[in-house]
Amino acid sequence: MDIFQSTSDSGILTLTLSGRLDADTTAKFSEVLGGCIDRGDRRITLDLGALDYVSSVGLRALIVGQKRLATLGGKIVLCAVRPQILKLLEIAGFTSIFPVAATREDAAELLR
């Protein structure tokens, strides 16, 4: 899995995930997300447009990050989610926890 970071002019951090979020890659994702939260990022977009697969371990990492950020007054918005990943998120009840936006621009609106 690859993770790319970018920050917009309005201070919204975007993490773009590609590949698989599974038992082999979740530790890396958790480390990157935790580091972003530690340095003060509170408005985070996760661009999942290039994510092919998410395991239960990956789902857990998403929840842990969201809960940690929520206690600090922050928020994570998911965007560009592929249909098969979105279906998984819906079945798991994650769409009631995470706002889901079609694009990064839509996600930024949800974070303002």
The rounded Cα 10 to chain-centroid distance in angstroms is 18
Which residues make beta-bridge pairs with 21? 54
Structural domains of the chain, count? 1
H or E, element range at 65? helix 56-71
Instruction: Give the model confidence (pLDDT) of 2-58 as tens digits.
Output: 999 998 878 899 999 999 999 999 999 999 999 999 999 999 999 999 999 999 999
Taking the CB of residue 75, how many other CB atoms lie within 10 A of it? 17
CATH of the domain at 16: 3.30.750.24
> What separation in angstroms does the CA of 69 have from each of 1, 4, 9?
23, 19, 21
- Would you say the pTM of this structure is higher than 0.85? yes
Instruction: Give the model confidence (pLDDT) of 55-70 as tens digits.
Output: 999 999 999 999 999 9
Under 8 Å CB-to-CB from 101, ≥6 apart: which residues?
Answer: 45, 77, 78, 79, 80, 107, 109, 110
* Cβ–Cβ under 8 Å, residues 107 and 101: yes
Decide: helix, strand or coil at residue 55. Answer: coil
* Domain of 87, in residue numbers: 2-111
